Structure 1
């Protein structure tokens, strides 16, 4: 049961310091208890009288987005995000993708900024930045999978700073793959497939457990693991094998394009949209049917055992 806000405020007021991790350990609370839909640790401290610095101009928007950082679980992203929140400016091609990933995590609709760099510059002096750094450290400390750099499995994607078996939000995925470079914001994406011409890759964002309330009859695709190396996936119901999109899927190796699979068990969790686990690059094995096309993909790196078991449970 989610604790009442007044009870949390009282606990924070009585706590001897302002360290979030220390409060969670001492109180037995979880990040899910603190990071609400429209509030966060910063909100709690203000209400409890523990934070007296003036409220930043973006604070009311940012406290709603701190939870978007609570899944971070790979070292490279942790270091990059922390550097950006500390005011450092990253310049390489791969580093610039981290700029976009963090920016769209905080501003999924683009936030009316001219570009991602301007949006991050606007964070300077915001008190909530301290909380963001804390949440990143807590999330990384709880990570239990070993994440492998994508470049090791797909050398042509060296500038894409994703790690296989790490977790990512929709915003991070689209930003990392250059989909947002076309001036599009992740909040406008309504489909589970994204062609990203900047990196010559198709990204499939797959939810294993689909419900009638979240998906229409034409989007209840049958997506599931056959084993830890093979994944059964269905295209959109309007995609034929002969169409340009269908041909790109089926002939991706001949054409030099990439197929990237991202999977989550449910659409939402206690913190909002559930992040996806990146299963990595995959290769065509076989297909059958049309509109939708049922395709079997071979993963270049076996999926985590818990993902395979969750997939099998979803099918059952």
Structure 2
């Protein structure tokens, strides 16, 4: 059969990706399952070439922007060294279709999500027979992850923050930096649009979503989202080829993400971002990041007290260095993070 005789359908392409990623090693693991976390069934993916490898739990961003349906595009090489767990948080991703939205609206809060995450950590430690795991927080998920790193150090080898939320006044940092870039560029369209948003952000924390979106349009234009790409089209297209997601689940992302975001953002974390840790903390940041600004993280790292703290800078990345500079990202995971699983048993 000539597989190139006709253009493959989307479903065929997904099956080819599934086949390419299939784990054949005798001690490997490849599961997609619903688990009960804190009273709610939630989907997780567990993938790795060797169960003896350390476990890496990834907390996605958003809110409600799961990484599971995009992981096929960047994660396969990680699975040689880690057992990688992707979790669709309460109501998000694969969970949306079966969710009771009335109940979900009452349950959704930062506190609920972090409690879910604590339960998941214990579930993974028992299931995969590991005393400690690695925790990676990405973007909005880093707000959960950094607090977990301070609160449950006895269960973690280390914390890795990617697109880290670092406190302070990041919206002002983003706005001021985008304004400077537009001025240097002589971009009058950007400058006029940004000036109409002032004062930004609102001092009482009530900055409307339309203003947040308007600023991010220009932050992406100036490499702050994906270096060299002024939009997230490619990233948001990745779920279309995800073997883990049905067509219905892919379509539901357009509904679930804004719905959950509108309900979660006003209930953000109350506790301050911690600055003292008993475990190593690493930050993997794109130099150009203007979603969780690099400058804020650079300042945050200076204030942290930890057995080990390192900031890894990806010079040609914005908010997603794991997609933008995949080889360098893997090298940091393998050379800097992985060895800690041997040292901190």
Q: TM-score range by the shorter chain?
A: under 0.3
Under a length normalisation based on structure 2, what TM-score does the superposition of the two structures give? 0.26
Q: Relative contact order, CA 8 A, sep 6+: which one is greater?
A: 2
